[in-house]
Structure 1
Amino acid sequence: MQNALAIVRVVVVGLLVGVEFAVAAFVNPILHRLPNDGGLAARSDGARVLGRVMPFWYIASVLLGTAWAVLARGDAGAGPVVTATALLVLSVLMSIALLVPINSRVARWTHDSVPADWKRQIVRWDRFHYARVGVIVAAFVLLVVGLA
């Protein structure tokens, strides 16, 4: 049971890392380079779609990590699992405090209602997102260490 939970956890967090890394490294930079603010509508739609899905994914990752940490209590691999879970909790807190407020505004933007400082807000969100990606990558690495 514990091994199956560990594998599910690594897969769930690994996919989360993959999606968030792809957004940071590829999708948003491509959207930013589109002419005539072409990426604005895509950013707004992405904020709406991912804004609905990602909270459940992050919370599921934390809950799976908590269950794994409880089951692994006293095992040699428990330390990395507990640390990884703490990092995932940190990523949720970062999301709530830093990213969600910006994301909520972006989700409502249209070409007619975009604020004058929209590019500055996008750059700020991207910077926070890079930091969050770093946190979840570290958590993923620790989960893999805990699995080994």
Structure 2
Amino acid sequence: MASVLAVITATVVGLMVGVEFSVAFVINPIMLRLPAAASLMGRAEGGRMLGRAMPFWYVGSLILTAALTAVAWGTPAATSALIAGVLLAISVIMSIVLLVPINNRSTTWTPENHPDDWKEQQQRWDRLHYARVAIIVAAFVLVLVAATTFQL
């Protein structure tokens, strides 16, 4: 059962990291290069779509990592899992406090109705997102370390 939990946790966290990495380094750079109207519409739709899914994915990843920590407690894997969980908790807090407010505003913007500083707000979101991606990549690596160490 512990092996299954380790695989599920690594898979869920890994897929989340892949989506967020893609948003940071593929999708949003493309959106910034589009004409303003297309960029606004694309980012708004992406924000709505991912804004519905990502809270469950982030919290689910955190819960799975906490469960992996509990199951691995007393083994060398527990430290890696615990630190991964702390990093994922930081990413959740960072999302709620810093990124979600910008995302919620941007999902309402249209080519006809947006603030003058829309591009600066999007770039601020992107910078914060880069930091969040670095945090969740580190958490993912630690989940993998915990999963493989626990299996030994």
Counterpart mapping for 1:56-135 below 5 A: 56-135=56-135
Q: What percent identity do the matched residue pairs reach? A: 52
Distance 1:40 1:136 in 2: 27
Aligned-pair RMSD on alpha carbons? 0.8
Aligned to 1:6: 6
Aligned-pair distance for 1:55? 0.2
Equivalent residue pairs, number: 148
Distance in 2 (CA, whole Å) between partners of 1:89 and 1:36 is 35
TM (norm. structure 2) is: 0.95
Question: Counterpart of 1:129 in structure 2: which amino acid?
Answer: H
User: CA deviation digits over 1:90-115, x for unaligned, max 9?
Assistant: 00000001000000000111112110
Shift of residue 37 of structure 1? 3.9
Alignment deviations for residues 45-65 of structure 1 (CA, whole Å, 9 cap, x no partner) = 111110010000000000101
Kindly state the Cα deviation for residue 27 of structure 1 after the two structures are TM-superposed: 0.3
Give the structure-1-normalised TM-score.
0.98
2:145 equivalent in structure 1: 145
Distance 1:38 1:59 in 2: 31
5 Å matches for 1:24-35? 24-35=24-35
Q: Which runs of 5+ in 2 are unaligned?
A: none
Unaligned runs of 5+ in 1: none
